Amino acid sequence: MTRLVTLIGYPLKHSVSAVFQQAAFSECGLDLKYENWETPEAELAGAVDRLRGVSIAGANVTIPCKEKIVPLLDELSDTAQRISAVNTVVNRDGRLMGFNTDVEGFVSSLLHDAGYRLRNRKVVLLGAGGVARAVMFALLNQEVTWVTVFNRSVDRGRALVRAFTRSAGRIPLTALPWEDLETSVALKDCDLLVNCTSIGMRYSSTEGETPLVADLIPKDALVYDLVYNPEETPFLREAKKAGAETLGGLSMLIHQGAASFELWTGRKAPLDIMFRSAREALARGA
């Protein structure tokens, strides 16, 4: 029997997960099919119930459902529990297990595709949603120097900081209003600038936009945009104008997807196939 793996979130028009995961399943000779289930928050509970069916192997979870899905699952990995966000679900005989592979994807992408180690780095995060929670967890585990979060809702940014204050130990965490970016000393001094928002994402309401223009981007920082569609976002173009090193979100997408693949299948993911098929899809304007 062919089993399904699904992607839960909304909207999904920008996603290439189905393309590269299906290519990986085929490469490994697995009888699995990947489907997109567009799921607004109001329909999440129903989608989760469907995941319990015998024909479902598991799911990926994306915006805006990564945090909302947590209380609907039967069990969480230690990492997912500590982050309070899930991006991967495994169906084990009707019990739904939640994992977060974004942490591994973030660290692996920096190391393998940029040769970049996080220890002792000064970091600015743009955004405070589910992916920002995973990134924050990764940063603290890698012993960065400090983290400053900017979010349009400063209360949500502060909530993110509060959630990780205890595990941060002596690592200073700060949340500031988005409006303070233009005058921020933290932005000027950071080593790593990470966009955890969806600003600039293809088919979104902010398509073609950038969270920062070149004049505000520190040229000595690595600028990492977790948006992957388009592969070169407006933010990355502005960062290049500023003279900064850049890394696009496709790297994290594939590395977290590879970790998800291994949870569903118990097989090593074919990274080269995943990267190639995703890039081909993006080049076609997926």
Cβ-based neighbour number of residue 23 at 10 Å: 20
Cα dihedral sign, 133-156-153-188: negative
Closest to 194 in 3D by CA, of 168, 233, 155: 233
CA distance 254 to 74: 26
Neighbouring C-beta atoms of residue 55, cutoff 10 Å: 11
Taken in order 43, 44, 49, 53, the sign of the CA dihedral is positive
| Cα→Cα distances 125→60, 77, 104, Å | 23, 25, 17
- Residue 66 among the catalytic residues: yes
Closest CA to 86 of 63, 120, 107: 63
143: phi > 0 → left, psi -120 to 50 → alpha, else beta; which? Answer: left
Cα–Cα distance, 210 to 190 (Å, whole number): 19
The residue behind tokens 């990564």 is 66
DSSP state of 233: -
Query: With 0-12 CB in 10 A as exposed, 13-18 as middle and 19+ as buried, what is 227?
Result: buried
Q: Are 174 and 147 in contact (CB under 8 A)?
A: yes
- Of the residues 66, 68, 122, 240, only one is catalytic, namely 66
User: Which positions are annotated as active-site residues?
Assistant: 66
